[in-house]
Structure formats: C-alpha cells, structure tokens
Amino acid sequence: MILDGKAVSEKRLELLKEKIEESGLYPRLATVIVGEDPGSKLYVRMKHRACERVGIGSVGIELPEDASTERVLEAVTRLNNDPDINGILVQLPLPSRIDTTRIIDAVAPEKDVDGFHPYNLGRLLAGTPVFAPCTPQGIMTIFGEYGIPTEGRRAVVVGRSIDVGRPMAVLLLNADATVTVCHSKTRNLEAEMRNADILVSAVGRAKFVGPEMVKEGATVIDVGINYDEQGKLCGDVDFEAVRGHAGAITPVPGGVGPMTIATLMENTFRAANLRTCFNNTVR
Ligand SMILES: NC(=O)C1=CN([C@@H]2O[C@H](COP(=O)(O)OP(=O)(O)OC[C@H]3O[C@@H](n4cnc5c(N)ncnc54)[C@H](OP(=O)(O)O)[C@@H]3O)[C@@H](O)[C@H]2O)C=CC1
Ligand SMILES: Nc1nc(=O)c2c([nH]1)NC[C@@H]1CN(c3ccc(C(=O)N[C@@H](CCC(=O)O)C(=O)O)cc3)C=[N+]21
C-alpha cells in the first residue's frame, strides 16, 4: 500500500480551513529566511501558499546572506513582541556563520510552531507536548489516518537530528512503540533495520534504503529529500526495489513533505488558540 501523504495533507488542510473559519480567528505566521538559497525560498513560498489556502495570514522577513546573528535575533525579538503574530518559523539551515542554537532559543516557545525550542522539545520528552516538530508529527498523522498501529511495534528510526530523528523516536515511544534510534556510528545497521515493523529513514542519502534492509510487510517512512544523478527529486528509499515487500510505504514526492506543511498550519492554528486561551503563554 502506498501511503499518500499528499492526499492526507489535502484532507487535513480542508478540515483546518473549516475549523479556522468557525473559530473567527485570523492566525498569522511569520517566516524568517536568511540569504538566497533557492531551495529554502521554494519551501518558504510553499508554506505561504498553504497559509493562504487555509485562512492564515503570513508575513515573510527576508534578511541578506551576510546578516549577523544579532540582526536575526533582532528580527525574532520583534516578532516575539508583535501581538499580531502567532507563529514564527526560522527557515533552516541558516548560513554557517550564524549561531543557530541562539536563534532557536530566542523564539518565544508559545510561537515556536516548528517545535524546535528546547522548551517544546522538553515538553515532548515529558509526554506533554505543546508543539511537536512538524515532520515527525505529520508522520504520526499518517499512521492515524491509515490505521497503522504503533503500540508494541518495533520502530527503527535512522537519523537523530533535532528536527526529525530525535522527536520521531520520542513520538513513537509516547505512542507505545519499542524504539531504536540508529545513526552514522551504529554497528550492524542493516540488522537493526531488518528488525523494524516501522522503519523511518531520515538520513538524506538517495537509495540509502534497499530491500535487504526491510522486513517483509514493514511500514516504510521515507523522510529524505534528495536529488538523484539526473537531478530528480527522490527520497532515502529505493522506492521501486522496496515497495514490493513493504507492507506500506511513503513515496517522495507526495509522502512526508506535504504532511510537514499541513502540520505547520495545524500548529499555527494551535498557537492562535493558545493565545486566546492562555493569554499568550504556554508556561
Ligand atoms: N520531508 C520533509 O518534510 C523533511 C525532509 N527532510 C530531509 O530528511 C533528511 C534528513 O534530514 P535531517 O534529519 O535534517 O538531516 P541531518 O543531516 O541533520 O541528519 C542526518 C542523520 O542521518 C545520520 N546518518 C548519516 N549517514 C548515515 C549512515 N551512513 N548510516 C546511518 N546514519 C547516517 C546522521 O548520523 P549522525 O548523527 O551520526 O551524523 C544524522 O543523524 C534530509 O534529506 C532532509 O532534506 C528534513 C526535514 C523535513
Ligand atoms: N524551520 C524549518 N522548518 C522546516 O520544517 C523545514 C526547514 N526549516 N528547513 C527545510 C526542511 C525541509 N522541509 C520540507 C517541507 C516540505 C517538503 C515538501 O512538501 N516536499 C514535496 C516536494 C516539493 C518539491 O517539489 O521540491 C514532497 O515531498 O512531495 C519538503 C521538505 C521543511 N523543512
């Protein structure tokens, strides 16, 4: 079975649009982008388009490639203090000169719709999440929509980044899976992966996952966004080789990516609700 993330995201966005209409709220998302990377610009444009579609206002802050950490901090602080802004997204990666940790730490936790702030990561770890990172949260939504159980299942996550691998592992653990996290120092990676009922690959290498690494009938989630030799967009998984014996599999494009954006919209609406319910604080 192909897990159609695109279709699930469309459905969730339609539902969200109705909810936002009913709420009478006008949530607003601010994006911050530093430099001219075409990929980052494309993603930010996609986020703005999704906002427009569901009735979320959006503002885009564009800073030059040579902006200092202080300059980015200043922009974030201004957005923190702006009562009309509910959600703040600083597009990653930032230029290497910039102290990314300081920037992420500066985002007000109640506006951190990416879920990257240590406060929100801590809430997730504590099992009382407010904003979970969009990509792994979106994957949990796919499981929910397709009725894929996690309880008691062996889940293997390959990758341990703050934005994908780690929070994915915690979300699966919170959903009662038995979780293994693999990374570049893992020994016997293939054997670990073959154990998985649910295999999540967030590595960033084309054709990283072949059929020999996948147990018959496993659910395979492909987070990777890569380009093959022909310059064509592809995931981490050798899709054609693996799809035959995977029980369920996400394609790239049309799998996890669209869910990331749909979840960002859901988080932004949640931020707007938090503002009205808790006087703009989650603490
Ligand atoms: N679809 C979507 O919405 C999104 C897609 N992405 C994509 O997902 C992929 C991963 O992103 P991200 O987590 O940010 O990337 P990072 O580069 O931050 O993390 C990659 C992880 O893979 C591990 N890794 C690298 N090589 C190997 C190897 N040979 N064997 C085992 N593990 C390995 C690394 O291990 P170590 O920690 O030891 O270095 C690291 O933990 C990228 O392709 C990215 O573009 C990212 C975000 C959203
Ligand atoms: N602060 C921050 N938050 C992020 O969530 C974030 C980020 N920085 N930096 C980059 C990564 C990557 N990311 C994607 C979002 C959507 C698709 C997506 O929709 N992809 C389409 C294809 C799009 C295309 O044609 O290129 C798909 O897979 O079907 C992919 C990747 C969010 N990220």
> What one-letter code names the amino acid at 34?
V
Distance in Å, CA 278 to ligand 2 centroid? 30
Phi, psi (5° rounding) for residue 202?
Answer: -130, 70
The C-alpha R_g of the chain, in whole angstroms, comes to 19
Distance in Å, CA 208 to ligand 1 centroid? 11
pLDDT band with cut points at 50, 70 and 90 for residue 257: very high
Per-residue pLDDT tens over the stretch 202-239:
999 999 999 999 999 999 999 999 999 999 999 999 99
- For the cut 70, the answer to whether the pLDDT of residue 169 exceeds it is yes
- 160 labelled ligand-binding: yes
Write down the residue that tokens 């707007």 correspond to: 272
Per-residue pLDDT tens over the stretch 129-167:
999 999 999 999 999 999 999 999 999 999 999 999 999
Write down the residue that tokens 């599999």 correspond to: 249
Nearest ligand for residue 113 CA: 2
Q: Answer whether 246 contacts ligand 1 (Cβ < 6 A).
A: no
pLDDT band with cut points at 50, 70 and 90 for residue 282: low
- Given this model, what pLDDT does residue 283 score? 53
- For the cut 50, the answer to whether the pLDDT of residue 280 exceeds it is no
- 153 labelled ligand-binding: no
Q: 54: Cβ–Cβ under 8 A, 6 or more apart, which residues?
A: 13, 16, 17, 20, 265, 269
Question: Is the complex ipTM higher than 0.90?
Answer: yes
Phi, psi (5° rounding) for residue 84?
Answer: -85, -10
Q: Which residues are catalytic?
A: 47, 91, 114
**What is the strand order of the sheet 248-249 is part of?**
178-182, 154-158, 198-201, 219-222, 248-249
Per-residue pLDDT tens over the stretch 152-161:
999 999 999 9
* Domains, the chain, with CATH or none: 26-108 (3.40.50.10860), 134-256 (3.40.50.720)
Q: Answer whether 237 contacts ligand 1 (Cβ < 6 A).
A: no
CA 184, 1, 171: angle at the middle one, nearest 5?
Answer: 45
What residue's CA is closest to ligand 2, atom 14? 257
Cis peptide before 253 (omega within 30 of 0): yes
Nearest ligand for residue 133 CA: 2
